Amino acid sequence: MTTLALQSLWSITAPPAPPSSRLVGARAAEVIVIGGGYTGLSAALHLAEAGRAVVVLESDDIGVRASGLNGGQVIAGVKHDPDQLQAMFGDDLGARYARTVSGAPDEVFELIARLGIHCDVVRTGWLQPADSPAALPPLAARAEQWRRRGAPVELVAREAMRELTGSQRYCGGLFDRRGGTVQPLSYARGLAQALLRAGGELFTRSPVLRLAKIAGGFRAETPEGRLSAAQVIVATNAYTGQLNAQLRRTVVPVPSFQVATAPIPAQLRATILPGGQAASDTCRLLRYFRTDASGRLVMGTRGTFAAAPTTHDARHHYRAVSEIYPQLAGLGFEYHWGGFVAMTADHLPHLHELAPGVLAGLGYNGRGVAMATVMGRLLAQRALGAADAELGFPVSAVRPIRLHAFSGLGVRATIQYLRLKDSLDRLGRRPPG
Protein backbone atom coordinates (compact mmCIF):
# COMPACT_ATOMS: atom_id res chain seq x y z
CA MET A 1 0.00 0.00 0.00
CA THR A 2 1.71 3.17 -1.23
CA THR A 3 0.70 6.78 -0.60
CA LEU A 4 -0.27 8.32 -3.92
CA ALA A 5 1.39 11.41 -5.35
CA LEU A 6 -1.72 13.48 -6.05
CA GLN A 7 -1.50 15.36 -9.33
CA SER A 8 -4.15 15.86 -11.97
CA LEU A 9 -3.45 14.98 -15.58
CA TRP A 10 -5.02 18.31 -16.50
CA SER A 11 -2.43 20.33 -14.57
CA ILE A 12 0.28 18.75 -16.76
CA THR A 13 -1.39 19.36 -20.12
CA ALA A 14 -3.11 22.77 -19.65
CA PRO A 15 -1.59 26.02 -20.90
CA PRO A 16 -0.46 28.34 -18.08
CA ALA A 17 -3.00 30.45 -16.21
CA PRO A 18 -3.04 34.15 -17.05
CA PRO A 19 -0.85 36.23 -14.73
CA SER A 20 -2.65 37.32 -11.57
CA SER A 21 -1.84 38.77 -8.18
CA ARG A 22 -3.26 39.08 -4.67
CA LEU A 23 -5.70 41.84 -3.78
CA VAL A 24 -3.75 44.42 -1.78
CA GLY A 25 -5.25 47.64 -0.40
CA ALA A 26 -8.69 49.14 -0.94
CA ARG A 27 -10.48 48.96 -4.30
CA ALA A 28 -13.97 49.49 -5.69
CA ALA A 29 -15.95 47.81 -8.49
CA GLU A 30 -19.55 47.44 -9.56
CA VAL A 31 -19.78 43.67 -8.98
CA ILE A 32 -17.65 41.38 -6.79
CA VAL A 33 -17.55 37.71 -7.83
CA ILE A 34 -16.32 35.34 -5.12
CA GLY A 35 -14.83 32.14 -6.58
CA GLY A 36 -12.79 31.57 -9.72
CA GLY A 37 -14.33 28.37 -11.09
CA TYR A 38 -16.69 28.08 -14.09
CA THR A 39 -19.62 29.70 -12.24
CA GLY A 40 -17.67 32.76 -11.14
CA LEU A 41 -15.66 33.11 -14.35
CA SER A 42 -18.70 32.76 -16.59
CA ALA A 43 -20.68 35.25 -14.47
CA ALA A 44 -17.80 37.74 -14.49
CA LEU A 45 -17.17 37.30 -18.21
CA HIS A 46 -20.81 37.95 -19.10
CA LEU A 47 -20.86 41.02 -16.82
CA ALA A 48 -17.60 42.38 -18.25
CA GLU A 49 -18.94 41.90 -21.76
CA ALA A 50 -22.02 43.89 -20.71
CA GLY A 51 -19.72 46.72 -19.65
CA ARG A 52 -19.79 46.21 -15.86
CA ALA A 53 -16.68 46.80 -13.70
CA VAL A 54 -16.35 43.29 -12.29
CA VAL A 55 -13.64 41.76 -10.08
CA VAL A 56 -13.20 38.06 -9.28
CA LEU A 57 -11.66 37.13 -5.92
CA GLU A 58 -10.33 33.58 -5.75
CA SER A 59 -8.94 31.89 -2.61
CA ASP A 60 -6.32 29.97 -4.45
CA ASP A 61 -5.60 29.84 -8.19
CA ILE A 62 -7.93 29.75 -11.17
CA GLY A 63 -9.61 26.37 -11.57
CA VAL A 64 -7.74 24.63 -8.76
CA ARG A 65 -10.96 23.24 -7.31
CA ALA A 66 -13.74 21.37 -9.11
CA SER A 67 -13.44 23.35 -12.35
CA GLY A 68 -9.86 22.27 -12.94
CA LEU A 69 -10.17 18.77 -11.49
CA ASN A 70 -13.29 17.34 -13.12
CA GLY A 71 -13.74 14.75 -15.86
CA GLY A 72 -14.31 17.34 -18.58
CA GLN A 73 -17.55 15.67 -19.66
CA VAL A 74 -19.88 18.27 -21.14
CA ILE A 75 -23.32 16.86 -20.38
CA ALA A 76 -26.76 18.17 -21.31
CA GLY A 77 -29.58 18.12 -18.80
CA VAL A 78 -29.78 17.72 -15.06
CA LYS A 79 -30.50 14.56 -13.05
CA HIS A 80 -34.25 14.93 -13.64
CA ASP A 81 -35.73 14.13 -17.04
CA PRO A 82 -37.60 16.89 -18.90
CA ASP A 83 -41.12 15.55 -18.20
CA GLN A 84 -40.22 15.54 -14.52
CA LEU A 85 -38.97 19.14 -14.73
CA GLN A 86 -42.30 20.15 -16.24
CA ALA A 87 -44.17 18.29 -13.51
CA MET A 88 -42.05 20.01 -10.85
CA PHE A 89 -42.07 23.56 -12.24
CA GLY A 90 -45.23 23.69 -14.34
CA ASP A 91 -45.60 23.73 -18.10
CA ASP A 92 -44.14 27.16 -18.80
CA LEU A 93 -41.14 27.37 -16.44
CA GLY A 94 -40.57 23.59 -16.65
CA ALA A 95 -40.39 23.69 -20.46
CA ARG A 96 -38.01 26.66 -20.40
CA TYR A 97 -35.91 24.97 -17.69
CA ALA A 98 -35.65 21.87 -19.90
CA ARG A 99 -34.65 24.02 -22.91
CA THR A 100 -31.99 25.80 -20.85
CA VAL A 101 -30.37 22.59 -19.61
CA SER A 102 -30.72 20.91 -22.99
CA GLY A 103 -28.85 23.78 -24.63
CA ALA A 104 -26.13 23.92 -21.97
CA PRO A 105 -23.49 22.07 -24.07
CA ASP A 106 -24.27 24.42 -27.01
CA GLU A 107 -23.54 27.36 -24.73
CA VAL A 108 -20.19 25.88 -23.67
CA PHE A 109 -19.05 24.97 -27.18
CA GLU A 110 -20.21 28.29 -28.65
CA LEU A 111 -18.42 30.21 -25.91
CA ILE A 112 -15.23 28.25 -26.50
CA ALA A 113 -15.41 28.88 -30.26
CA ARG A 114 -16.27 32.56 -29.89
CA LEU A 115 -13.51 33.20 -27.36
CA GLY A 116 -10.93 31.03 -29.15
CA ILE A 117 -10.24 28.91 -26.04
CA HIS A 118 -7.80 26.04 -26.66
CA CYS A 119 -9.12 23.19 -24.53
CA ASP A 120 -9.06 20.01 -26.68
CA VAL A 121 -12.76 20.18 -27.57
CA VAL A 122 -14.29 16.96 -28.85
CA ARG A 123 -17.99 17.15 -29.64
CA THR A 124 -19.05 13.71 -30.69
CA GLY A 125 -21.55 13.04 -27.93
CA TRP A 126 -21.96 11.57 -24.46
CA LEU A 127 -22.82 7.98 -23.58
CA GLN A 128 -24.74 6.50 -20.69
CA PRO A 129 -24.00 2.79 -20.98
CA ALA A 130 -26.41 0.45 -19.18
CA ASP A 131 -24.75 -1.77 -16.63
CA SER A 132 -27.73 -4.14 -16.55
CA PRO A 133 -30.87 -4.80 -18.63
CA ALA A 134 -32.91 -3.24 -15.79
CA ALA A 135 -31.26 0.10 -16.53
CA LEU A 136 -32.53 0.18 -20.13
CA PRO A 137 -36.22 1.13 -19.69
CA PRO A 138 -35.47 4.41 -17.82
CA LEU A 139 -32.85 5.25 -20.46
CA ALA A 140 -35.39 4.53 -23.21
CA ALA A 141 -37.89 6.86 -21.49
CA ARG A 142 -35.19 9.55 -21.19
CA ALA A 143 -34.31 9.26 -24.87
CA GLU A 144 -37.98 9.43 -25.86
CA GLN A 145 -38.62 12.53 -23.72
CA TRP A 146 -35.67 14.39 -25.19
CA ARG A 147 -36.46 13.30 -28.75
CA ARG A 148 -40.00 14.64 -28.31
CA ARG A 149 -38.33 17.99 -27.64
CA GLY A 150 -36.17 17.72 -30.75
CA ALA A 151 -32.91 16.76 -29.01
CA PRO A 152 -30.56 14.26 -30.72
CA VAL A 153 -30.73 11.54 -28.06
CA GLU A 154 -31.21 7.86 -28.86
CA LEU A 155 -31.17 4.46 -27.21
CA VAL A 156 -28.56 2.18 -28.77
CA ALA A 157 -28.46 -1.61 -28.62
CA ARG A 158 -25.79 -3.80 -27.06
CA GLU A 159 -23.66 -4.20 -30.18
CA ALA A 160 -23.65 -0.48 -30.95
CA MET A 161 -22.69 0.37 -27.35
CA ARG A 162 -19.89 -2.19 -27.49
CA GLU A 163 -18.53 -0.51 -30.59
CA LEU A 164 -18.91 3.00 -29.16
CA THR A 165 -17.22 2.17 -25.85
CA GLY A 166 -14.88 -0.63 -26.93
CA SER A 167 -16.11 -2.52 -23.85
CA GLN A 168 -18.03 -5.81 -23.69
CA ARG A 169 -19.38 -4.80 -20.29
CA TYR A 170 -22.56 -2.96 -21.30
CA CYS A 171 -25.89 -4.08 -22.69
CA GLY A 172 -26.87 -0.96 -24.62
CA GLY A 173 -27.57 2.55 -23.42
CA LEU A 174 -28.06 6.20 -24.22
CA PHE A 175 -26.21 8.08 -26.96
CA ASP A 176 -26.66 11.81 -26.47
CA ARG A 177 -25.15 13.78 -29.35
CA ARG A 178 -25.44 17.11 -27.52
CA GLY A 179 -22.45 16.32 -25.27
CA GLY A 180 -18.69 16.15 -25.63
CA THR A 181 -15.46 16.70 -23.75
CA VAL A 182 -13.03 19.48 -22.92
CA GLN A 183 -9.72 19.65 -21.08
CA PRO A 184 -11.35 21.12 -17.96
CA LEU A 185 -8.47 23.17 -16.56
CA SER A 186 -7.65 24.60 -20.01
CA TYR A 187 -11.30 25.63 -20.26
CA ALA A 188 -11.20 27.38 -16.85
CA ARG A 189 -7.96 29.16 -17.68
CA GLY A 190 -9.31 30.13 -21.09
CA LEU A 191 -12.38 31.69 -19.46
CA ALA A 192 -10.05 33.64 -17.14
CA GLN A 193 -8.03 34.92 -20.13
CA ALA A 194 -11.22 35.94 -21.89
CA LEU A 195 -12.44 37.75 -18.77
CA LEU A 196 -9.26 39.83 -18.63
CA ARG A 197 -9.54 40.61 -22.36
CA ALA A 198 -13.13 41.76 -21.79
CA GLY A 199 -11.92 44.23 -19.15
CA GLY A 200 -12.69 42.23 -15.99
CA GLU A 201 -10.20 41.85 -13.17
CA LEU A 202 -9.04 38.84 -11.26
CA PHE A 203 -7.21 38.45 -7.95
CA THR A 204 -5.94 35.03 -6.88
CA ARG A 205 -4.72 33.84 -3.45
CA SER A 206 -7.28 36.32 -2.12
CA PRO A 207 -9.78 34.43 0.05
CA VAL A 208 -12.79 36.46 1.08
CA LEU A 209 -12.82 36.16 4.86
CA ARG A 210 -15.80 38.39 5.46
CA LEU A 211 -18.51 40.10 3.48
CA ALA A 212 -19.68 43.25 5.27
CA LYS A 213 -22.76 45.33 4.48
CA ILE A 214 -21.78 48.95 3.93
CA ALA A 215 -23.64 52.03 2.69
CA GLY A 216 -24.55 51.45 -0.96
CA GLY A 217 -23.40 47.84 -1.11
CA PHE A 218 -20.89 45.38 0.31
CA ARG A 219 -17.23 45.12 1.21
CA ALA A 220 -15.30 41.88 0.70
CA GLU A 221 -12.35 41.58 3.04
CA THR A 222 -9.31 39.48 2.15
CA PRO A 223 -6.12 39.07 4.23
CA GLU A 224 -4.46 42.05 2.53
CA GLY A 225 -7.25 43.94 0.81
CA ARG A 226 -10.78 45.27 0.72
CA LEU A 227 -13.06 45.47 -2.28
CA SER A 228 -16.38 47.29 -2.25
CA ALA A 229 -19.22 47.06 -4.77
CA ALA A 230 -22.98 47.45 -5.03
CA GLN A 231 -23.48 43.77 -5.98
CA VAL A 232 -21.94 40.42 -5.06
CA ILE A 233 -22.07 37.00 -6.70
CA VAL A 234 -21.06 34.05 -4.53
CA ALA A 235 -19.69 31.22 -6.70
CA THR A 236 -17.96 28.99 -4.18
CA ASN A 237 -20.02 25.79 -4.68
CA ALA A 238 -18.71 22.72 -2.80
CA TYR A 239 -15.90 24.84 -1.30
CA THR A 240 -18.11 27.47 0.36
CA GLY A 241 -16.47 27.08 3.80
CA GLN A 242 -17.24 29.55 6.57
CA LEU A 243 -18.03 32.53 4.33
CA ASN A 244 -21.77 31.82 4.40
CA ALA A 245 -22.92 29.07 6.75
CA GLN A 246 -26.49 29.02 5.38
CA LEU A 247 -25.31 28.59 1.79
CA ARG A 248 -22.70 25.98 2.75
CA ARG A 249 -25.46 23.89 4.31
CA THR A 250 -27.48 23.77 1.07
CA VAL A 251 -24.98 21.36 -0.51
CA VAL A 252 -23.23 18.20 0.59
CA PRO A 253 -19.65 17.96 -0.71
CA VAL A 254 -19.10 14.41 -1.97
CA PRO A 255 -15.61 13.25 -2.92
CA SER A 256 -14.98 12.14 -6.48
CA PHE A 257 -11.64 10.71 -7.53
CA GLN A 258 -10.00 10.03 -10.88
CA VAL A 259 -7.07 8.06 -12.23
CA ALA A 260 -5.37 8.35 -15.63
CA THR A 261 -3.51 5.49 -17.25
CA ALA A 262 -0.32 5.66 -19.25
CA PRO A 263 -1.05 6.36 -22.94
CA ILE A 264 -2.99 3.44 -24.41
CA PRO A 265 -0.80 1.39 -26.81
CA ALA A 266 -1.37 2.37 -30.46
CA GLN A 267 -2.89 -1.00 -31.48
CA LEU A 268 -5.65 -0.69 -28.82
CA ARG A 269 -6.26 3.04 -29.01
CA ALA A 270 -8.55 2.85 -32.02
CA THR A 271 -10.83 0.38 -30.22
CA ILE A 272 -11.38 2.25 -26.94
CA LEU A 273 -14.00 5.00 -27.24
CA PRO A 274 -12.97 5.27 -30.89
CA GLY A 275 -15.42 8.14 -31.57
CA GLY A 276 -14.04 10.20 -28.68
CA GLN A 277 -17.29 10.16 -26.67
CA ALA A 278 -17.28 10.42 -22.89
CA ALA A 279 -19.27 7.93 -20.82
CA SER A 280 -20.95 7.77 -17.40
CA ASP A 281 -22.49 4.39 -16.68
CA THR A 282 -25.64 3.48 -14.74
CA CYS A 283 -24.02 1.79 -11.72
CA ARG A 284 -25.31 3.07 -8.38
CA LEU A 285 -21.83 4.54 -7.87
CA LEU A 286 -21.43 5.57 -11.47
CA ARG A 287 -18.11 5.18 -13.22
CA TYR A 288 -17.29 8.00 -15.63
CA PHE A 289 -14.58 7.65 -18.23
CA ARG A 290 -13.09 9.14 -21.38
CA THR A 291 -9.79 9.37 -23.18
CA ASP A 292 -7.73 12.56 -23.41
CA ALA A 293 -5.77 14.17 -26.23
CA SER A 294 -2.69 12.08 -25.42
CA GLY A 295 -4.65 8.81 -25.57
CA ARG A 296 -4.83 8.07 -21.83
CA LEU A 297 -7.92 6.55 -20.26
CA VAL A 298 -9.30 8.74 -17.46
CA MET A 299 -11.54 6.83 -15.02
CA GLY A 300 -13.52 8.40 -12.19
CA THR A 301 -15.94 7.29 -9.50
CA ARG A 302 -16.85 8.24 -5.94
CA GLY A 303 -13.65 8.77 -4.00
CA THR A 304 -12.02 8.79 -0.66
CA PHE A 305 -12.13 11.39 2.12
CA ALA A 306 -8.50 10.57 3.02
CA ALA A 307 -6.13 13.55 3.00
CA ALA A 308 -3.29 11.31 1.79
CA PRO A 309 -4.92 8.55 -0.30
CA THR A 310 -3.10 5.31 -0.95
CA THR A 311 -3.14 2.74 -3.74
CA HIS A 312 -5.65 0.90 -1.52
CA ASP A 313 -8.02 3.88 -1.73
CA ALA A 314 -7.72 3.84 -5.54
CA ARG A 315 -8.46 0.11 -5.84
CA HIS A 316 -12.08 0.72 -6.95
CA HIS A 317 -10.76 2.77 -9.86
CA TYR A 318 -8.18 0.16 -10.86
CA ARG A 319 -10.93 -2.49 -10.66
CA ALA A 320 -13.29 -0.38 -12.78
CA VAL A 321 -10.62 -0.10 -15.50
CA SER A 322 -9.97 -3.85 -15.47
CA GLU A 323 -13.70 -4.71 -15.47
CA ILE A 324 -14.62 -2.33 -18.26
CA TYR A 325 -11.42 -2.68 -20.29
CA PRO A 326 -9.72 -6.00 -19.44
CA GLN A 327 -7.65 -5.51 -22.62
CA LEU A 328 -5.74 -2.75 -20.77
CA ALA A 329 -4.38 -5.17 -18.13
CA GLY A 330 -0.84 -4.22 -17.25
CA LEU A 331 -1.14 -0.60 -18.33
CA GLY A 332 0.19 1.64 -15.54
CA PHE A 333 -1.67 4.40 -13.69
CA GLU A 334 0.26 7.66 -13.91
CA TYR A 335 -2.04 10.32 -12.38
CA HIS A 336 -4.38 10.29 -9.39
CA TRP A 337 -6.47 13.21 -8.15
CA GLY A 338 -9.83 14.10 -6.66
CA GLY A 339 -12.15 16.88 -5.62
CA PHE A 340 -15.57 17.57 -4.16
CA VAL A 341 -18.86 17.51 -6.04
CA ALA A 342 -21.69 19.66 -4.58
CA MET A 343 -24.86 17.60 -4.22
CA THR A 344 -28.24 19.12 -3.39
CA ALA A 345 -31.20 17.51 -1.65
CA ASP A 346 -33.43 17.82 -4.74
CA HIS A 347 -30.59 16.90 -7.19
CA LEU A 348 -31.02 20.25 -8.96
CA PRO A 349 -28.69 23.25 -9.26
CA HIS A 350 -29.82 26.34 -7.34
CA LEU A 351 -29.81 30.06 -8.04
CA HIS A 352 -30.37 32.06 -4.85
CA GLU A 353 -30.83 35.70 -3.99
CA LEU A 354 -29.15 35.65 -0.56
CA ALA A 355 -30.04 39.29 0.13
CA PRO A 356 -30.86 42.26 -2.09
CA GLY A 357 -27.70 42.64 -4.19
CA VAL A 358 -26.19 39.24 -3.28
CA LEU A 359 -26.66 36.28 -5.65
CA ALA A 360 -25.35 32.73 -5.49
CA GLY A 361 -25.36 29.76 -7.90
CA LEU A 362 -24.30 26.24 -6.96
CA GLY A 363 -25.12 22.54 -6.63
CA TYR A 364 -24.56 20.93 -10.02
CA ASN A 365 -24.61 17.34 -8.73
CA GLY A 366 -21.64 16.30 -10.89
CA ARG A 367 -22.84 18.03 -14.07
CA GLY A 368 -21.25 21.43 -13.69
CA VAL A 369 -19.04 21.77 -16.75
CA ALA A 370 -22.01 22.80 -18.83
CA MET A 371 -24.41 23.83 -16.07
CA ALA A 372 -22.01 26.07 -14.08
CA THR A 373 -21.20 27.89 -17.31
CA VAL A 374 -24.92 28.45 -17.88
CA MET A 375 -25.43 29.41 -14.22
CA GLY A 376 -22.74 32.06 -14.58
CA ARG A 377 -24.64 33.55 -17.52
CA LEU A 378 -27.92 33.42 -15.53
CA LEU A 379 -26.31 35.10 -12.50
CA ALA A 380 -24.93 37.84 -14.74
CA GLN A 381 -28.36 38.38 -16.33
CA ARG A 382 -29.96 38.56 -12.89
CA ALA A 383 -27.31 41.03 -11.67
CA LEU A 384 -28.05 43.12 -14.76
CA GLY A 385 -31.70 43.26 -13.73
CA ALA A 386 -33.43 40.32 -15.45
CA ALA A 387 -36.77 39.50 -13.82
CA ASP A 388 -37.77 35.93 -12.87
CA ALA A 389 -39.81 35.55 -16.05
CA GLU A 390 -36.86 36.47 -18.31
CA LEU A 391 -34.44 33.96 -16.74
CA GLY A 392 -36.20 30.72 -17.64
CA PHE A 393 -34.72 29.28 -14.45
CA PRO A 394 -36.12 29.37 -10.91
CA VAL A 395 -34.69 31.70 -8.27
CA SER A 396 -35.17 29.63 -5.14
CA ALA A 397 -35.10 30.28 -1.40
CA VAL A 398 -32.06 29.08 0.57
CA ARG A 399 -33.04 25.84 2.30
CA PRO A 400 -30.23 24.41 4.42
CA ILE A 401 -30.20 20.60 4.50
CA ARG A 402 -31.42 19.23 7.83
CA LEU A 403 -28.74 17.52 9.94
CA HIS A 404 -26.11 18.88 7.54
CA ALA A 405 -23.41 18.52 10.20
CA PHE A 406 -23.80 14.74 9.93
CA SER A 407 -23.85 14.65 6.13
CA GLY A 408 -20.19 13.58 5.88
CA LEU A 409 -20.95 10.45 7.91
CA GLY A 410 -24.05 9.84 5.80
CA VAL A 411 -22.08 10.19 2.56
CA ARG A 412 -19.43 7.73 3.76
CA ALA A 413 -22.06 5.18 4.79
CA THR A 414 -24.03 5.66 1.57
CA ILE A 415 -20.93 5.21 -0.60
CA GLN A 416 -20.07 1.95 1.21
CA TYR A 417 -23.65 0.72 0.91
CA LEU A 418 -24.01 1.52 -2.80
CA ARG A 419 -20.60 0.03 -3.55
CA LEU A 420 -21.64 -3.16 -1.79
CA LYS A 421 -24.91 -3.29 -3.75
CA ASP A 422 -23.05 -2.75 -7.04
CA SER A 423 -20.58 -5.52 -6.13
CA LEU A 424 -23.40 -7.93 -5.23
CA ASP A 425 -25.14 -7.11 -8.51
CA ARG A 426 -21.97 -7.89 -10.42
CA LEU A 427 -21.42 -11.15 -8.54
CA GLY A 428 -25.01 -12.22 -9.14
CA ARG A 429 -24.91 -11.44 -12.83
CA ARG A 430 -23.03 -13.24 -15.51
CA PRO A 431 -21.09 -10.80 -17.67
CA PRO A 432 -23.26 -9.98 -20.67
CA GLY A 433 -22.29 -12.56 -23.26
Interacting residue ranges for ligand FAD, rule: CB under 6 A: 34-40, 57-60, 64-67, 69-73, 75, 207-208, 235-239, 241, 243, 256, 258, 288, 300, 338-341, 362, 364, 366-370, 372
For ligand FAD, the closer CB: 319 or 426: 319
Q: Which DSSP state fits 304? A: -
In terms of Cβ atoms closer than 10 Å to its own Cβ (0-12, 13-18, 19+), residue 397 is exposed
For ligand FAD, the closer CB: 171 or 291: 291
For ligand FAD, the closer CB: 128 or 237: 237
Least Å distance between CB 195 and ligand FAD? 13
Cβ(301)–Cβ(285) below 8 Å: yes
E strands in 103-209: 126-129, 153-156, 173-176, 180-181, 201-203
For ligand FAD, the closer CB: 30 or 60: 60
Least Å distance between CB 223 and ligand FAD? 11
**Cα(119)–Cα(273) distance, integer angstroms:** 19
For ligand FAD, the closer CB: 89 or 364: 364
For ligand FAD, the closer CB: 235 or 351: 235
For ligand FAD, the closer CB: 143 or 211: 211
E strands in 251-332: 252-261, 278-280, 288-291, 297-302
Instruction: Report which of 43, 408, 69, 117 is spatially closest to residue 254, judged by C-alpha positions.
Output: 408
Give residue 233's identity as a one-letter amino acid code.
I
Least Å distance between CB 325 and ligand FAD? 18
Least Å distance between CB 370 and ligand FAD? 6
For ligand FAD, the closer CB: 54 or 69: 69
**Cα(107)–Cα(103) distance, integer angstroms:** 6
E strands in 137-224: 153-156, 173-176, 180-181, 201-203, 210-214, 217-221
- How many CB atoms neighbour CB 214 within 10 A? 10
Least Å distance between CB 213 and ligand FAD? 17
Which residue's CB atom is positioned nearest to ligand FAD?
368
For ligand FAD, the closer CB: 74 or 135: 74
**Cα(248)–Cα(401) distance, integer angstroms:** 9
What are the two backbone dihedrals, phi and then psi, of residue 182, each rounded to the nearest 5 degrees?
A: -135, 165
Instruction: Report which of 404, 397, 376, 366 is spatially closest to residue 34, judged by C-alpha positions.
Output: 376
Least Å distance between CB 146 and ligand FAD? 17
Q: Which residues pair with 6 in a beta bridge?
A: 336
Least Å distance between CB 262 and ligand FAD? 20
Least Å distance between CB 366 and ligand FAD? 5
For ligand FAD, the closer CB: 35 or 309: 35
Instruction: Report which of 352, 357, 328, 324 is spatially closest to residue 431, judged by C-alpha positions.
Output: 324
Give residue 58's identity as a one-letter amino acid code.
E
**Cα(381)–Cα(52) distance, integer angstroms:** 12
Least Å distance between CB 163 and ligand FAD? 22
- How many CB atoms neighbour CB 24 within 10 A? 13
Least Å distance between CB 430 and ligand FAD? 30
**Cα(21)–Cα(23) distance, integer angstroms:** 7
Q: Which DSSP state fits 26? A: E
